[in-house]
Chains A and B, each alone.
Chain A
């Protein structure tokens, strides 16, 4: 059984702060890691993905991957109220389907 663990939150951060979202996964065969954002009642929206150990930056977002620790994180710099959503971590092994975590609910307080 492939497990993806995320703290359900809510994670509350003040506007302008850095939000740190964490994810651990059980499947050592996972090769790529996707972060999706989901607003309430909406569909998952791709933010970014990473497949090499280390950091990958895209605008205000940075994904960090440590395959040895089976850990992936997403940092959001200069958090805005519009970033308030649930963030879904989804590892993927090879060409297998996405396995989603339950997500972390982020609340950015203005």
Chain B
């Protein structure tokens, strides 16, 4: 069964450094998402992406964050200058389209640890 893949599974970075998290969505899916989950808290929406542009973003997704689809398969999340509070699990998800009945399928996540 097709799945969303994310790399790396665990990223350790010094505070202030840039980090790029990578995702390969399911091949026929058109909508891509990033969510994060701080330890012990709920899953929170960051950004959605369609047709090479951001379609919606949350308050969390400030100027330190950016997303990109650099080629036909990868979808990346960049955090420019990481803070301690960016430590979390980051999940990429994709869906065939964004109609309300379409489910989003999640990757296994990247655990980001900021030191």
Q: Are A102 and B42 in contact (CB under 8 A)?
A: yes
A46: CB under 8 A from chain B? yes
Residues of A within 8 A of B35 (CB): 98
Residue from the list B41, B42, B58, B100 in contact with A92, Cβ < 8 A? B100
| Minimum C-beta distance from A65 to chain B (A) | 13
**Which of B42, B56, B91, B100 contacts A43 (CB under 8 A)?**
B91
Encode contact with A along B36-61: 1 for CB under 8 Å, 0 otherwise: 00000111110010000000101000
Q: Chain A's nearest CB lies how many Å from the CB of B45?
A: 4
Interface string of B75-111 (1 = CB under 8 A from A): 0000000000000010100000011110111111100
Question: Which residue, of B43, B58, B107, B109, has the highest number of chain A Cβ atoms within 10 A?
Answer: B43
Chain A nearest CB: distance from B61 CB in Å? Answer: 11
Closest residue on chain B to residue A90 by CB atoms:
B43
Size bin of chain A's contact surface: 20 to 34
Say whether B56 contacts A96, CB under 8 Å.
yes
Q: How far is the CA of A42 from the CA of B48 in the complex (A)?
A: 21
Interface of B is mostly: loop
- Return chain B residues, CB-CB under 8 Å to A44: 43, 91, 106
Expressed in whole angstroms, the Cα–Cα distance for A100 and B42 within the complex equals 7
Query: A73 at the A/B interface (Cβ < 8 Å)?
Result: no
Q: Inside 8 A of A74's CB, which chain B residues have their CB?
A: none
Interface residues on B, range: 20 to 34
**In the complex, A99 has a CB within 8 A of chain B:** yes
Chain A: CB-nearest residue to B40? A102
Contact in complex: B42, A49 (CB < 8 Å): no
Beta-carbon nearest neighbor of A31 in chain B: B100
A51 to B99, CA, bound (A): 12
Please judge, given known A-B contacts A42-B108, A44-B106, A88-B43, whether A97 and B100 are in contact too, CB under 8 Å.
Answer: no
- 13 intermolecular pairs with C-beta atoms under 8 Å apart: A43-B107, A43-B109, A44-B106, A45-B106, A88-B42, A92-B100, A93-B100, A96-B56, A97-B58, A98-B45, A98-B104, A100-B43, A102-B41
Q: 7 smallest A-B Cβ distances: which pairs?
A: A95-B98, A97-B45, A100-B43, A31-B100, A43-B106, A32-B100, A102-B42
